[in-house]
């Protein structure tokens, strides 16, 4: 029994060392409870590309630990994986939590080399609410500029099943659907979460900020093929990016749903993972 216990203990130590996981690193001074991030580095990491991941949860919940297979999948490909937390509604408004995301990115730019990452080679990704935030900080350069970082550090963006790349469009879609079916309005819908002012809705939309010559990185936009809203939003963002000359691929995953699409990323036979693998290989060759 002692030998078995020793073996298991050594195996755990070996796994932790190989992954080199650092949790709850503060990215602000002083840092609040949710202003922390986790770094997953392959063994012997040095000057490796980095993935900067933003969790979902409707901007009101979620956690950086909800990453499933993604850290190991990226580490197996020689990529450092960073997963961040940020303050949430109602503690923070949309501008504050977006600035938290940018501040976390600023920390990565300054410190990721200490964990084997290349600060000039970062892929940004996120699911659901995190998809909106990922797309926004990769198109509206004001957030990263405020942290002393330029778009030159970005090698790609992978938003996963977001429905708010064009906030006015989703508000109109959702409210029209409720109205024509004689259903009551939502108490805490997109209109309220994004500040209840039309100018805010436009400003928090990635499509508003897409333009030629800004250095916006290539996009892989993953969405659930059977979901009309995330499909329309993916096509909307992809079309705007392509019109601006930004490489963009839209992939609609079949036989899946909002949570499963994100959770399955990293499975060997998963079609969306294959699309992600091809995208990552392509941007690393650039």
226-to-136, 141, 169, 239, 251 alpha-carbon distances in Å: 24, 32, 19, 19, 12
Percent of the chain with pLDDT over 70: 93
Query: Domain total for the chain?
Result: 1
Q: Is residue 13 part of a domain?
A: no
* Residue 196 pLDDT level (bands cut at 50, 70, 90): confident
Structural domain span for residue 150: 21-285
CA distance 211 to 241: 8
Query: Which domain CATH number covers 81?
Result: 3.40.50.1820
Q: Is residue 11 part of a domain?
A: no
Instruction: Report whether 55 contacts 126 (CB < 8 A).
Output: yes
Nearest to 219 by CA among 276, 264, 261, 263: 276
- pLDDT tens track for 81-140: 999 999 999 999 999 999 999 999 999 999 999 999 999 999 999 999 999 999 999 999
Q: What is the mean pLDDT of residues 52-71?
A: 98
- pLDDT tens track for 172-183: 999 999 999 999
Q: What is the mean pLDDT of residues 32-37?
A: 97
Predicted pLDDT at 17: 40
CA distance 58 to 60: 5
* Residue 279 pLDDT level (bands cut at 50, 70, 90): very high
Q: Is residue 5 part of a domain?
A: no
CA distance 20 to 38: 11
Tokens of 92: 């923070």
Q: Global pTM?
A: 0.93
Q: Check whether the bond before 90 is cis (ω within 30° of 0).
A: yes
Q: Is residue 1 part of a domain?
A: no
Q: Is residue 133 part of a domain?
A: yes
Instruction: Report whether 79 contacts 32 (CB < 8 A).
Output: no
Q: Is residue 8 part of a domain?
A: no
CA distance 196 to 168: 11
């Amino acid at each position: 029994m002692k030998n078995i216990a020793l073996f298991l203990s050594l195996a755990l130590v070996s796994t932790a060392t190989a992954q080199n996981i650092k949790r709850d690193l503060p990215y602000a001074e002083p840092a609040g409870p949710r202003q922390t991030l986790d770094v997953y580095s392959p063994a012997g990491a040095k000057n490796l590309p980095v993935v900067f991941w933003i969790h979902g949860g409707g901007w009101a919940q979620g956690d950086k630990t909800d990453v499933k297979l993604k850290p190991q999948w990226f580490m197996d490909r020689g990529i450092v994986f960073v997963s961040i937390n940020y303050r949430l509604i109602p503690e923070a408004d949309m501008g504050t939590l977006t600035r938290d995301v940018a501040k976390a990115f600023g920390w990565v730019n300054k410190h990721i080399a200490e964990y084997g990452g290349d600060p000039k080679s970062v892929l940004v990704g996120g699911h659901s609410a995190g998809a909106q935030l990922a797309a926004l900080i990769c198109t509206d350069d004001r957030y990263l500029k405020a942290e002393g970082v330029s778009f030159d550090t970005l090698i790609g963006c992978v938003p996963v099943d977001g429905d708010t790349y064009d906030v006015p469009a989703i508000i109109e879609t959702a409210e029209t659907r409720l109205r024509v079916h004689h259903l009551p309005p939502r108490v805490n819908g997109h209109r309220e979460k994004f500040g209840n002012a039309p100018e805010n809705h436009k400003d928090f939309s990635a499509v508003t900020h897409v333009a030629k010559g800004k250095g916006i990185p290539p996009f892989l936009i993953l969405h659930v093929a059977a979901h009309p809203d995330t499909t329309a939003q993916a096509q909307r963002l992809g079309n705007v990016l392509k019109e601006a000359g930004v490489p963009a691929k839209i992939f609609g995953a079949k036989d899946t749903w909002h949570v499963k699409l994100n959770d399955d990323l990293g499975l060997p036979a998963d079609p969306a993972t294959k699309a992600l693998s091809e995208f990552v290989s392509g941007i690393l060759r650039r």
